[in-house]
Amino acid sequence: MSRGLKGFGRLDEAYQRRISRLARDKKRGKKVVGTFCLYVPDEIIFAAGADRVILCGGSGETIPAAEEFLPRNVCPLVRSSFGALAGRNRGGPPACPHFSLIDLVVAEATCDAKKKMYELLGEQIPTYVLDLPQKPDSPEAIRYFREELGKFRDVMEGLTGEKVTDAGLRREIRRANRTRRLLQGLFELRREDPPRIGGTEVLSLLQKQFLLSPDVFQDLVREACEGAAGRPVPRRRGGRPRIMLSGSPLPGGTTKVPGIIEARGGTIVVEESCTGTRSFENLVDEEKEPMTALAERYLKIPCACMTPNAGRVEKILELARRFGIDGVVYYTLQSCHGYNTERYRVQRALRAAGIPMLAIETDYGDSDAEQIGIRVEAFLEMLA
């Protein structure tokens, strides 16, 4: 990670200050909510006077603690996340410090592995599951999700003892939209050819998005944008293809595949993932009734758990055009059935558009790193 941009260089320092602040606030009575997924609206959590951190596991170190409960053929993200929470009370390896601060887990009914994991997690720590309509492109889906968000609002009010008002929601919607606009601006810088900012640099920032407070994260994004814009325009280096990374989430600690791509000669210019564009591409309508506006915005997230999910394929093609993509690396975690199955439709659409794609299925271990590197190198040579 480059230290040339202050926003990136301060990430570790900002995280440590965040943990200290959360611990102090918790002693004063503030509630801390842990979430896994983009479908849980932060706006409701903050409007209720609580704080929020992300719980997605990106490390293999906590997986052994989960395998007492979960099969080994469950996706590593699910096992890593569960192990970090369950292992904290069972003598497991130390997880990230924020895992020990959680008062309530707010989960979401996305993939089957997660839903069954939440049943076990509820025996270890208070857990609330937000239900999702699986066919989002209908008025009925919006109405249903609006009702589910109303129930979630009631849960948050019960947790904190504070009323979630329309004024509070509007305030948090505006704040969340500021973050989204800043990230949109950061990604616009990556459309340059060649870009002045590396893909692994951007990923290091994106992976902290839901760990840091919104205001601190916004400051870091601003600093990163200013620093990148102030860098000299690099001389065009032939043979560094522009790559889109698409597929499964890339939570903190998951750097294997992006690192290989850029070390072997590619440049990642956009991520179509929950860690990338899905987290910020749509704003919440600030003029509508807040709960309806939240339901509409969050159901636009094109997760592979939804069906039909043609919007995701369309988004990939749109990003490929906007960012001048030479090729797509389609990254999926083992046993991530939704994204693995959607791979066929994505590859078919890319092939029709004349865009090459390399599919990589992996886990959090390094045993396949050299094999992946050889495949990535061959793919990049083909694109050059």
- CA–chain centroid gap for 379, Å, is 26
The distance in angstroms from the start CA to the end CA of the chain is 25
We report the CATH number of the domain holding residue 31 as 3.40.50.11890
The answer to whether residue 214 sits within a structural domain is: no
The answer to whether residue 105 sits within a structural domain is: yes
pLDDT digits (tens, 9 = 90+) for 302-327: 999 999 999 999 999 999 999 999 99
The answer to whether residue 100 sits within a structural domain is: yes
CA separation for the pair 106, 120 (Å, rounded): 14
pLDDT digits (tens, 9 = 90+) for 141-158: 999 999 999 999 999 999
pLDDT digits (tens, 9 = 90+) for 53-98: 999 999 998 999 899 999 999 999 999 999 988 866 565 555 678 8
The answer to whether residue 303 sits within a structural domain is: no
Look at residue 184 in the predicted model and tell me its pLDDT: 98
Is the pLDDT score of 371 beyond 80? yes
CA separation for the pair 99, 62 (Å, rounded): 12
pLDDT digits (tens, 9 = 90+) for 233-274: 776 655 699 999 999 999 998 999 999 999 999 999 999 999
CA separation for the pair 180, 175 (Å, rounded): 9
Look at residue 91 in the predicted model and tell me its pLDDT: 57
Is the pLDDT score of 287 beyond 90? yes
Domain containing 43 equals 24-164
CA separation for the pair 30, 22 (Å, rounded): 8
Look at residue 1 in the predicted model and tell me its pLDDT: 36
pLDDT digits (tens, 9 = 90+) for 1-41: 344 566 666 888 999 999 999 999 999 999 999 999 999 99
Looking at the structure of the chain, the number of domains it has is: 1
The answer to whether residue 336 sits within a structural domain is: no
The answer to whether residue 60 sits within a structural domain is: yes
CA separation for the pair 141, 126 (Å, rounded): 27
The answer to whether residue 31 sits within a structural domain is: yes
Instruction: Read off the pLDDT band of 364 (50, 70, 90).
Output: very high
pLDDT digits (tens, 9 = 90+) for 112-136: 999 999 999 999 999 999 999 999 9
The answer to whether residue 113 sits within a structural domain is: yes
Note if the bond before 302 is cis, omega within 30 degrees.
no
